[in-house]
Amino acid sequence: MSGTLRIEKDAPRAGVWRLVLDDPPRANALSPALVGCLQSALHGAFERDVRCIVIASSGERFCAGADLGDAEHLDDAALRDRFAALEDLLETVRRAPALTIAVVRGAALGAGADLVASCDYRLGTSKARFAFPGSRFGVVLGTRHLAAVVGRQAAREILVEGKSLDARAAAQCGLLSELCADEAIESRVESITQSSEAIDAMTLRAILRLTRDLPSGRDRAELQQSTSRDGLAERVREHARRAQQQRALRRAAGR
């Protein structure tokens, strides 16, 4: 579909689509193009009554979050539109008329971590790790849903204290629904999808509707309020600079 998204149909079973974030040089960051491709792929799967959608990645990282590589050239309005598109994508995944499974073998940061949290099953290996830095530059994205997944207190601690979670911590709080050995994670995906075949499509959709977080207009309202504050672009640029400096320090330290 694009150079940044790979679609594998009937993988590992008939009626299962695997959407692979496939831009390792950019750590699979969610650029506007990739967000658009994901939306198109998801709606294409829905139109074909796909029973299960697996969201995975290539490379060492699952997803570096919103692509801010061009933040120096964006104004508040452009960034506001980008975050609104990300919220639309997350809501599409949360309300999918199909079972959704995230397969996380590396770092999932920011909107990438929110993408994982939006899935019904969230499988990770020992290399998975998570961080939600949006609060550090004043963007409220995915907060209510995160609280529904991990609990209110855990969500407060993650967001207020800027906590990063390794795989074990993510599994303990429920952000990962299951911690798997790397060699076993694909067999677990197949097990889940095979089990779902024992349920007719209408019943499966009812189960998903009744076991998911309820939709709320507050998600979009809070996001719009946070991104409407003056100085969004400068806050994002400053965050991007700090993140770049931290990466440089880690490389210098050999980590």
Q: How far apart are CA 194 and CA 235, in angstroms?
A: 46
Mean pLDDT of 143-152: 96
When pLDDT is cut at 50, 70 and 90, the band that residue 186 belongs to is very high
Residue 13 has pLDDT above 70, yes or no: yes
Does the pLDDT at position 14 exceed 70? yes
pTM of this prediction?
0.95
pLDDT of 3 reads 78
Q: What pLDDT does residue 27 have?
A: 94
Q: Name the band, by pLDDT with cuts 50, 70 and 90, for residue 1.
A: low
Which one is predicted more confidently, 246 or 57? Answer: 57
Give the SS3 label for residue 112.
helix
Q: What is the per-residue pLDDT for 69?
A: 83
Do 18 and 68 form a contact (C-beta atoms < 8 A)?
Answer: no
The structural domains of the chain, ordered by start, are 5-183 (3.90.226.10)
The string of pLDDT tens digits covering residues 75-129 is 999 999 999 999 999 999 999 999 999 999 999 999 999 999 999 999 999 999 9
| CA dist., res. 79 & res. 84, Å (int) | 9
- Tell me: the pLDDT tens digits for 195-205? 999 999 999 99
What is the pLDDT of the chain when averaged over all its residues?
94
Q: What residues contact residue 215 under an 8 Å CB cut-off, 6+ apart?
A: 91, 94, 95
Strands 107-109 and 129-131: parallel
What is the pLDDT averaged over residues 234-242? Answer: 88
Residue 255: pLDDT over 80: no
Cα of 111 vs its chain's centroid, Å = 5
